[in-house]
Amino acid sequence: MAKYDTVRSDLAEKIEAYINQSGLSAHDKLPSERELSALWDVNRMTLRQAIERLVDEGILYSLHGSGTYVAPRKINRNLWQFLSFSDAMKESGLHTHTTVISFRKMEANKLLAKTFSILLGTEVVELVRIRHVENEPFALETIYLPSCLVPGLEQHDLEKQSLYAILREVYRIELTKSKQEISITYLTEEEASYLGVAPGDAAICTKVVTATEDKLPVEYTIEIARGDRCMFSTILK
């Protein structure tokens, strides 16, 4: 069994090398199994299992009756750096843009009142927006902030300007700490329509409370990111 796994791993690496050396991009089609089997002189069952491994890893995807294609690059969200979404994507060399879906003022429910240590019914703002990476929808964000901390926030261009930059430069709020909860969820019809995928697809749900150095909670964000485009990494010491 160990020998079989080694052969399969070597073949998966050959496929990855072929993709890079051939200059294939996201959604480009691979040659047929017959052609690849002949290229490396392996049987098609071994090749198919190597392809399945790469599909599981999100490097390839298959369409029934059509063939195997290069999957879009997964977007790494590292958990050891405190960075805004825009800064994290910029550090990875990725282009982003934002679409605002809605902005409204509302009364804090029990969850928000507890999160921000404010009275039930206190006014908060809710910002809903889509984050695009390389011109493809990647995540749906719902952001809450106490209105008293950000008067006039709606006057700023929340599609072109970084929210963290606005907080820092306009409201003199420096965010330095965050608490994150990460779980798997499945997209509703509305969420799927915003992200350009099918209802019921798996997604990554990240709930984040961000605070200042003196532990004042300022922002509560619920991010629903496409499961086919997202991965997380961290460093343990």
**CATH number of the domain that 79 lies in?**
3.40.1410.10
> Are residues 138 and 83 located together in one domain of the fold?
yes
- pLDDT at position 7: 46
Could you list the residue range(s) of the whole structural domain that residue 21 is in?
A: 2-70
Q: Give CA–CA dist 140/135, Å, rounded.
A: 14
> Are residues 195 and 121 located together in one domain of the fold?
yes
Spatial contact of 203 and 187, defined as CB atoms under 8 Å apart: yes
> Are residues 66 and 101 located together in one domain of the fold?
no
> Are residues 216 and 170 located together in one domain of the fold?
yes
Q: Which structure tokens are listed for 209?
A: 């409370």
Q: Give CA–CA dist 223/142, Å, rounded.
A: 6
Whole-Å CA distances, 119 to 10, 14, 51, 104, 145: 60, 60, 55, 19, 14
- pLDDT at position 80: 67
- pLDDT at position 1: 41
> Are residues 60 and 94 located together in one domain of the fold?
no
pLDDT of the chain along its 237 residues, tens only?
A: 444 454 446 899 999 999 989 998 888 999 999 999 999 999 999 999 999 989 887 788 888 889 999 887 777 777 667 777 777 777 777 788 999 999 999 999 999 999 999 999 999 999 999 999 988 999 999 999 999 999 999 999 999 999 999 999 999 999 999 999 999 999 999 999 999 999 999 999 999 999 999 999 999 999 999 988 877 777 777
Which of 11, 38, 70 lies at the terminal end of a domain, its last residue? 70
> Are residues 54 and 84 located together in one domain of the fold?
no
pTM: 0.77
> Are residues 45 and 92 located together in one domain of the fold?
no
> Are residues 97 and 84 located together in one domain of the fold?
yes
> Are residues 89 and 26 located together in one domain of the fold?
no
Four-point Cα dihedral 148, 161, 218, 230, nearest 10: 150
- pLDDT at position 50: 92
Q: Which structure tokens are listed for 232?
A: 């997380």
Which of 43, 70, 97 lies at the terminal end of a domain, its last residue? 70
> Are residues 55 and 171 located together in one domain of the fold?
no
Per the listing, tokens 């059509």 go with 66
Q: Which residues contact residue 21 at a Cβ distance below 8 angstroms, ignoring those fewer than 6 apart?
A: none
- pLDDT at position 158: 95
Which of 26, 42, 70 lies at the terminal end of a domain, its last residue? 70
> Are residues 26 and 60 located together in one domain of the fold?
yes
For the chain, the domain total comes to 2
